[in-house]
Structure 1
Amino acid sequence: MADCVFCAIVAGSASAFRVADEPTGVAFLDTRPVFRGHVLVVPREHVETLGDLPAPELPGYFGLVRRVTLAVEAGLGAGGTFVAINNRVSQSVPHLHTHVVPRTKGDGLRGFFWPRHRYADDTEAADHAERIAAALAAA
């Protein structure tokens, strides 16, 4: 896609601090990292969301995400990582990208970046589970 910055990085027409360049995708440092060493992994093809990535490409793409996750931990001496994907909402670039954020104990990041909301009761939780399961069965 001509106006997609991630497509430009994949094509080599936009600069980035690359950490991996493979047939399944490209990984590079986020320009606005949560912590130094925050990496974005993108598929080569322009797809906006995880649901748009063709099923045959999932093993290769997530294999790259897995390898980058292990490399962030080993290369930076991180105690772990936070791995996340936004689909449309909070997706700053409309090209699928997986965040791999290095973590260390006491780094100040507490759980998710958004508030949590409890279910009113088990009935409400069961209703949500049933609705999701029904949509999954219909897919």
Structure 2
Amino acid sequence: MSNIKTLASCIFCKIVKGEIPSFKLMETDSILAFMDIGPIARGHCLVIPKYHAEKLADLPEDQMADILPALAKIAKAAGNEDYNILQNNGRPAHQQVDHVHFHYIPKPSADDKEGLGVGWPAQNLSMDEIKKIYEEVKGKLE
């Protein structure tokens, strides 16, 4: 793991290094998947890159290859018909640990008693406003 950047005070980096025990589900050279110890549903787990990056945009592309395949394998193994994959960036977006991580959260029923309860406060933007935002983002992607 010498080529993997870590941060000494990061709880997830400590889990990666084996300094903090975890219920490890799977591991590759670039990711670690383990059970969430503060689950909001039975089977709630995390997939994290071993490389320490605070936000998704900070994570090098070569460290992303195993993330979605790991989440898909976990979803298939867990056998939940309905589930959420969640990734937050920054405190206002509800990120609690400053290390990129993806939640696999089973949603066993339509009520909000178990699993992720999500509101979708759609903004009332005009097509002109959407087009303007599109042009700004698209221009920066090129």
TM-score bucket (shorter structure): 0.7 to 0.9
- Name the structure 1 match of 2:36: 30
Secondary structure of the structure 2 residue equivalent to 1:46: coil
- Name the structure 2 match of 1:101: 105
Give structure 1 stretches of 5+ with no counterpart: none
How many angstroms apart in 2 are the aligned matches of 1:17 and 1:111? 21
- Name the structure 1 match of 2:118: 113
**What letter is aligned with 1:88?**
G
Compared CA separation, residues 106 and 113, structure 1 to 2 (3 A): closer
1:39 aligns with 2:45: yes
Query: 1:50: how far off?
Result: 1.5
Query: 1:46: how far off?
Result: 1.1
Secondary structure of the structure 2 residue equivalent to 1:59: coil
TM-score by length of 2: 0.80
Residue correspondences, number: 133
Contact 1:79 1:105 in 2 (8 A): no
| Overall identity of the aligned pairs, in % | 28
Q: Specify which of 61, 64, 75 is matched with residue 67 of structure 2.
A: 61
- Name the structure 2 match of 1:50: 56
Normalized per residue, which structure has more helix?
A: 1
RMSD of aligned residue pairs (Cα, Å): 2.2
Compared CA separation, residues 36 and 110, structure 1 to 2 (3 A): closer
**What letter is aligned with 1:11?**
K
Compared CA separation, residues 25 and 129, structure 1 to 2 (3 A): same
How many angstroms apart in 2 are the aligned matches of 1:128 and 1:112? 28
- Further displaced range: 40-49 or 55-64: 55-64
